[in-house]
Amino acid sequence: MIANVLTIAGTDPSGGAGIQADIKTFSALGVYATSVITAVVAQNTQGVRSFVALEPQFVAEQIDAVFDDVRIDAVKIGMVANAAIAEAIAARLRHHRPHNIVLDPVMVAKSGHHLLDPEAVASVRDLLIPLATVITPNLPEAAVLLGIETSWSIAEMKERASDLARLGSEWVLIKGGHLAGTDQSVDFLHDGKNTIELSAPRISTDNDHGTGCTLSAAIAASLPSNDVPESVRRAKGYMHEALLASGKLDVGHGHGPLHHF
């Protein structure tokens, strides 16, 4: 049976990030895509211009409409925009109790635009992270979640993975993509006890819009049929191929999208 996977996230009308990247990822990986929109974002490959967050109650109604009808095998949460939406998502997920939840704690786009109200960090940390099977922070997001200021090293990433696990998710994938001066992109996957190092050769490309969205969506697509370490390995493999294939696209003048196939 084909898995049904839900993304709860913001939009990207230029098709590279957010809900659109998630749906493309789900389809490319052979699962059925459902989607709940938190915010409508005016953005393209050059950056985020502005967004309108939907009413929290309306986000909740979309979630209920999906769960009341469709068996959901995994959920990916991306941009939640503000604290009230984070609270609404947490309440509805506590009610519907899906098995696999991937939380990408989206905060700031590459263009520097805030996609999460800074005052909402506590709601994401305290209400959504404890519901998650796996969280996928990049280094700036990890620092904000831990309330620390640091210049990251590989050793510190590994050490901080256990601090992040104490926030309450089953697994933490801390992503080292932002680490300067390394030819490998190193991530650590930690479950509160054991740490798995996952590295991949760094790909030099400007087509990196929506990489975080794609990775977390690919993990969610895999979780109905694989455990967390295998899902993360597969998702990183998918990302690698999608990044390599991005050169076939001619989309926009900024950070181009990945090619999903």
Among 106, 129, 164, 232, binds ligand PLP (CB under 6 A): 106
Least distance CB 83 / ligand PLP (angstroms): 17
Q: How far is C-alpha 60 from the geometric centre of its chain's CA atoms?
A: 20
Size of the site for ligand PLP (CB under 6 A): 20
Which is nearer to ligand PLP, 18 or 56 (by Cβ)? 18
Q: How far is C-alpha 21 from the geometric centre of its chain's CA atoms?
A: 11
What does the angle CA 255 – CA 233 – CA 165 come to, to the nearest 5 degrees? 90
Given a contact cutoff of 8 angstroms between Cβ atoms, the answer to whether 161 and 192 are in contact is: no
Cα dihedral 80, 165, 147, 182 in deg (nearest 10)? -90
- d(CA 32, CA 209) in angstroms, rounded, equals 23
According to CB under 6 A, which residues from 113 to 152 bind ligand PLP?
115
Q: Take residue 230 and report the two structure tokens written for it.
A: 């295998």
- Kindly state whether residue 257 participates in binding ligand PLP, applying the rule CB under 6 A: no
- Kindly state whether residue 210 participates in binding ligand PLP, applying the rule CB under 6 A: yes
According to CB under 6 A, which residues from 2 to 41 bind ligand PLP?
9-10, 12, 17-18, 41
- Kindly state whether residue 220 participates in binding ligand PLP, applying the rule CB under 6 A: no
Among 88, 109, 127, 242, binds ligand PLP (CB under 6 A): 109
Q: 78: which DSSP letter?
A: -
Q: 118: which DSSP letter?
A: G
According to CB under 6 A, which residues from 66 to 85 bind ligand PLP?
78-79
Q: Which stretches of the chain are DSSP H helices? A: 18-28, 56-67, 83-96, 121-123, 139-146, 154-165, 211-222, 228-245
Least distance CB 133 / ligand PLP (angstroms): 18
Least distance CB 45 / ligand PLP (angstroms): 8
Least distance CB 252 / ligand PLP (angstroms): 11
Q: CA 166 → CA 161, 162, 220, 229, 242, distances in Å?
A: 9, 6, 22, 19, 32
Given a contact cutoff of 8 angstroms between Cβ atoms, the answer to whether 75 and 68 are in contact is: no
Least distance CB 80 / ligand PLP (angstroms): 9
Q: Which stretch binds ligand PLP (CB under 6 A): 54-62, 63-71, 104-112, 146-154?
A: 104-112
Which is nearer to ligand PLP, 196 or 244 (by Cβ)? 244
Tell me the residue number closest to ligand PLP, measured at CB. 18
Which is nearer to ligand PLP, 210 or 224 (by Cβ)? 210
Q: Take residue 82 and report the two structure tokens written for it.
A: 């503000």
Which is nearer to ligand PLP, 213 or 223 (by Cβ)? 213
E strand or H helix at 29, and its extent? none
Q: Which residues of the chain form contacts with ligand PLP (CB under 6 A)?
A: 9-10, 12, 17-18, 41, 43, 78-79, 104, 106, 109-110, 115, 209-213, 255
